[in-house]
Amino acid sequence: MKIISYTLLLAALLFSALNSFSQKSKLVSVKVESTDLATQTLVAVECSQFEKMFTTTTARHSITSSSDLALLEETTKHFILSNGEDKIDVRGTVTFRYRRVAIKYCFDRYGLFYGKGRYFKNQLLLNIILKKIDFEK
Supply the pLDDT for residue 9: 44
Domain assignment present for residue 14? The answer is: no
Residue 16 included in any domain: no
Query: Has residue 6 been placed in a domain?
Result: no
Predicted TM-score (pTM) of the model is 0.77
Res 16: pLDDT: 46
What CATH number does the domain containing 57 carry?
A: 3.30.1490
Does 54 map to a domain?
A: yes
DSSP sequence for the chain: -HHHHHHHHHHHHHHHHHHHHHSPPPEEEEEEEE--TT---SSPPPGGGHHHHTTTT-EEEEE--HHHHHHHHHHGGG-EE--S-------EEEEEEESS-EEEEEE-TTSEEEETTEEEE-HHHHHHHHHHHTTT-
Highest mean pLDDT: which range of 8-22, 73-87, 115-129: 115-129
Is 110 within a domain?
A: yes
* Each residue's pLDDT tens digit, 35-71: 999 999 999 999 999 999 999 999 999 999 999 999 9
Residue 81 lies in a domain: yes
Domains of the chain: total: 1
pLDDT score for 25 = 84
Please report whether residue 18 resides in a domain. Answer: no
Q: What's the domain range around 91?
A: 24-133
The pLDDT-based confidence of 133 (bands split at 50, 70, 90) is: confident
